[in-house]
Amino acid sequence: MHTLRSYLCDRWIEGSGTTQTLFNPATEEPLAKVCSEGLDLTAALEHARRKGGPALRALSFAERGALLKDAAKAIQAHRDALLNLAVENGGNTRSDAKFDVDGAIFTLQTYAELGASLGAAKFLVDGEGIQLGRSPRFHGQHLCVPRAGVAVHINAFNFPAWGFAEKAACALLAGMPVLSKPATSSAMAAHRVMEILVEGKILPDGVLSLLVGSSRELPALLESQDVLAFTGSGDTGMHIRSLPNVVRESVRVNVEADSLNAAVLGPDAEPGSEMYETFLKDVLRDMTQKAGQKCTAIRRVLAPDTVAATIRDDLVEGLKAVRVGNPALEDVRMGPLATNTQLADVREGVGKLAAEGMAAFGSAAPIATTGVDAGRGFFISPVLMEFPKDAPAEAVHAREVFGPVASLLRYSGKAVEAVSTIARGNGALVSSVYSEDAAFLEEIVAGIAPYHGRIFLGHPKIEMSPGPGTVLPQLVHGGPGRAGGGEELGGARGLALYMQRVALEGSRPVIQKLIGAQSD
Q: Cβ closer to ligand NAP: 123 or 402?
A: 402
273 binds ligand NAP (CB under 6 A): no
DSSP assignment letter at 57: H
88 is catalytic: no
Of the candidate residues 89, 107, 141, 231, the single one contacting ligand NAP (CB under 6 A): 231
Alpha carbon of residue 336 to chain centroid: 20
Which H or E element spans position 312?
helix 308-320
Stretch that binds ligand NAP, among 136-144, 177-185, 310-318, 378-386 (CB under 6 A): 177-185
214 binds ligand NAP (CB under 6 A): yes
487 binds ligand NAP (CB under 6 A): no
Report d(CA 240, CA 215) in Å as an integer. Answer: 13
295 binds ligand NAP (CB under 6 A): yes
Q: Diameter of the chain by CA atoms?
A: 81
| CA-wise closest residue to 60 among 115, 133, 15 | 115
When CB distances to ligand NAP are compared, the closest residue is 232
501 binds ligand NAP (CB under 6 A): no
Q: Cβ closer to ligand NAP: 218 or 511?
A: 218
Stretch that binds ligand NAP, among 41-49, 201-209, 214-222, 349-357 (CB under 6 A): 214-222
Work out whether the CA dihedral 489, 490, 492, 497 comes out positive or negative: negative
Report d(CA 135, CA 133) in Å as an integer. Answer: 5
Helix axes 79-90, 160-174, angle to 10 degrees: 130
Q: Cβ closer to ligand NAP: 74 or 346?
A: 346
Which stretches of 305-421 are assigned E, i.e. beta strand?
358-361, 383-386, 405-411
Q: Which of 88, 144, 295, 386 is catalytic?
A: 295
Binding mask 433-472 toward ligand NAP (x if CB under 6 A, else -) reads ----------------------------------------
256 binds ligand NAP (CB under 6 A): yes
Q: Cβ closer to ligand NAP: 175 or 481?
A: 481
Length of the chain: 520
Q: Hey, is 261 helix, strand or coil?
A: strand
158 binds ligand NAP (CB under 6 A): yes
Report d(CA 491, CA 110) in Å as an integer. Answer: 8
Count of beta carbons in the 10 Å neighbourhood of residue 1:
10
Q: What is each CA distance from 491 to 108, 174, 190, 374, in whole angstroms?
A: 11, 12, 23, 47
Stretch that binds ligand NAP, among 135-143, 179-187, 198-206, 432-440 (CB under 6 A): 179-187
28 is catalytic: no
Helix axes 61-77, 79-90, angle to 10 degrees: 70
CB of residue 485 vs ligand NAP: minimum separation in angstroms? 10
Give me the active site residues, please: 256, 295
Which residues bind to ligand NAP, rule: CB under 6 A? Answer: 154-158, 181, 183-185, 214, 216, 218-219, 231-233, 236, 239, 256-259, 295, 400, 402, 429, 483-484
